[in-house]
């Protein structure tokens, strides 16, 4: 049996991992703590560490894991900007789950858009207090509006299909356009100028860091709606707050936030948040925030467990790991499809 130290465990993680682990010859020890410099020592004696999107995997963490015997870091998520790949190369293999369910994320993005545009989150609260007034709940039709989709990978494509079903005009920006996709590509600047709504579906890279900032917000239409279900640091939070306060941004719906690491996935209802920007964003009547839950469907959780356990099984057998990411082989850290060291 391959022993796995499983970090940042939540009850919903265990359902499919417990159900499938025996089939893949894996024995899991669950830790509620996030993987970071304080907790990496917990993985001593394990061959595999399994981590999540908000864990902090620095050079010090990599070294601690390696010295403790870990040779595979299995990320049960698509994102990997929280890993020091250079430190890991030659020591620890890294795999991820690149496509757990594009439908889960794309559908959540549309749910956020519909809610923030039609004020359903406000009307839900009102009716629970027996307030049936419609004042202040006026929205607008999505049909005929122009939506700019940033990133046309698996999730972006599903979201585009959903938008087309609503009768929306779709513009798209991607550094690597898909010539087979029936959509109008344009520059990011043009997308900002022309879109009534902008939805982000791209990874976080050096190039996309703070893609939404004061300069790009200034290009946008007055009253633009911004949706982000990708990575928090795509959006400069202070610039977003300023855009909302100035009414340049008409509404925003966020499933991610750039400083979410110590907040999202945790119950902070009895504490005072240290993040003033996040508190102000949440307090805005035209801002809707969910806690990085776009992935959270039964289908996605099953796929995450299946893909992660499959990678661990391949590692234990010495086989090629389909979803391995290698620092050395590709500066973009794309999946290599080979055992690299």
The verdict on whether 231 is a catalytic residue reads yes
CA distance 10 to 160: 31
* 227 backbone dihedrals φ, ψ, rounded to 5°: -120, 130
The residue annotated as part of the active site, out of 96, 108, 201, 292, is: 292
Give long-range contacts, CB 8 A cutoff, 24+ apart: 163-166: 163/110, 166/142
| Biggest distance spanned by C-alpha atoms of the chain | 65
Which of 47, 260, 323, 324 is an active site residue?
260
Active-site annotation holds for 93: no
Q: Which burial class, exposed, middle or buried, applies to 228 when counting CB atoms under 10 A from its CB (0-12, 13-18, 19+)?
A: buried
Rounded CA-CA distance 257/24 in Å is: 35
Counting Cα atoms < 13 Å in the Cβ hemisphere of 94 gives: 31
Residue identified by tokens 């391959």 is 2
260 an active-site residue? yes
Say whether 85 sits in a helix, a strand or coil. Answer: helix
Length of the chain counted residue by residue: 341
Out of 231, 236, 323, 324, which one is annotated catalytic?
231
Please spell the DSSP secondary structure of 207-264, one letter per residue: TTTT-BSHHHHHHSPTTEEEEE-S-GGGB-HHHHHHHHHTTSEEEEEES--TT-TTTT
What residues act catalytically? 231, 260, 292
């Amino acid at each position: 049996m391959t022993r796995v130290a499983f970090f940042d465990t939540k009850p919903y993680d265990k359902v499919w991992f417990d159900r499938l682990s025996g089939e893949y010859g894996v024995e899991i020890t669950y830790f509620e703590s996030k993987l970071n410099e304080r907790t990496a020592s917990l993985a001593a004696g394990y061959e595999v560490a399994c981590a999540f999107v908000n864990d902090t995997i620095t050079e010090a963490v990599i070294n601690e894991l390696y010295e403790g015997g870990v040779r595979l870091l299995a990320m049960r998520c698509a994102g990997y900007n929280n890993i020091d790949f250079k430190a890991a190369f030659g020591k620890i293999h890294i795999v991820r789950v690149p496509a757990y369910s594009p439908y889960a994320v794309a559908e959540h993005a549309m749910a956020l858009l519909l809610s923030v545009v039609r004020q359903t989150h406000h009307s839900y609260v009102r009716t629970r207090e027996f307030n049936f007034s419609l004042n202040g709940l006026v929205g607008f039709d999505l049909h005929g509006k122009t939506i700019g989709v940033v990133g046309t990978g698996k999730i972006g494509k599903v979201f585009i299909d959903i938008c087309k079903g609503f009768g929306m005009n779709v513009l798209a920006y991607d550094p690597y356009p898909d010539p087979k996709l029936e959509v109008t590509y344009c520059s990011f600047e043009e997308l900002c100028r022309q879109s009534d709504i902008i939805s982000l579906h791209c990874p976080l890279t050096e190039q996309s860091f703070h893609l939404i900032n004061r300069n790009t917000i200034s290009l946008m239409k007055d009253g633009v709606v911004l949706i982000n279900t990708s990575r928090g640091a795509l959006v400069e939070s202070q610039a977003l707050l300023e855009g909302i306060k100035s009414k340049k941004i008409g509404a925003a719906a966020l499933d991610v936030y750039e400083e979410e690491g110590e907040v999202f996935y945790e119950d902070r209802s009895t504490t005072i948040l240290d993040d003033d920007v996040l508190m102000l964003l949440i307090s805005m009547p035209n801002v809707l925030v969910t806690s990085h839950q776009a992935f959270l469907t039964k289908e996605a959780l099953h796929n995450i467990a299946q893909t992660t356990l499959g990678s661990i099984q391949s590692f234990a057998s010495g086989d090629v790991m389909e979803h391995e990411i290698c620092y050395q082989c590709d500066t973009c850290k794309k999946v290599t499809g080979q055992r690299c060291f």
